[in-house]
A and B are shown apart, each in its own frame.
Chain A
Amino acid sequence: GENVEQHPSTLSVQEGDSAVIKCTYSDSASNYFPWYKQELGKRPQLIIDIRSNVGEKKDQRIAVTLNKTAKHFSLHITETQPEDSAVYFCAASRNTGTASKLTFGTGTRLQVTL
């Protein structure tokens, strides 16, 4: 089955700096890669996703890049703000035409300090 590794496990940045979180996956057939943000005790919230037919996607301060050859994808957050502090999870799935199960990475705890 799919295996997703995520690094780093913790990340501390100063407000205004950029944060980068990296994930690798094992199943070359995976073609959907979402990123979720989870605040303490809350549900994971989808912040951005990318499919294997594109290499990069951007939404305001958040961007995701995908390298299919190397089987890795990254989340980039620019101009970080204190409210970006949370745990971020990457995930991967293989589209089978119906709702597909996600395999999650181990999570990155991001702390944005003033």
Chain B
Amino acid sequence: GAVVSQHPSRVICKSGTSVKIECRSLDFQATTMFWYRQFPKQSLMLMATSNEGSKATYEQGVEKDKFLINHASLTLSTLTVTSAHPEDSSFYICSVGTGADTQYFGPGTRLTVL
């Protein structure tokens, strides 16, 4: 399967600052990547579908101006949480979609907003 990395693995920031999370597909040219958010003891909730070279598609209820997604190459997608607040604290996980439906996940980024 695809090998996916994320950076950083953990980040702590102050309320009101912006945080950028990188998702890299190391061995697969990913035209599509997905961003999920997972709160403690909950399931993965899809935030948006990141398409290389075009605008991301956001799920209902996810603010596109708050969660900026850029997918400028076949190996890199970034998620920027703008003006982060404590309620944005969560585990953010990206995945790479292969053409055969299967998704492979990155190791996740734990965001803590103070």
Contacts and interface: CB of A to CB of B under 8 A. Distances in A.
A101 B43 contact: no
A41 B38 CA distance: 11
Give the dominant DSSP class at B's interface: loop
A45 B44 CA distance: 13
Interface size class of B (residues with CB under 8 A): 20 to 34
Contacts of A25: none
Output the residue of A46, A99, A104, A107 with the most chain B CB within 10 A.
A99
Contact of A43 (B30, B34, B93, B102): B93
A93 interface: yes
B44 A89 contact: yes
Interface of B: 1, 30-32, 34, 42-46, 49, 93, 97-99, 101-108, 110
Given A51-B101, A95-B101, 19 more contacts: A41-B108, A44-B105, A46-B1, A46-B104, A49-B101, A49-B102, A89-B44, A98-B32, A98-B97, A99-B97, A99-B99, A99-B101, A99-B103, A100-B97, A101-B34, A102-B103, A103-B46, A105-B43, A106-B43
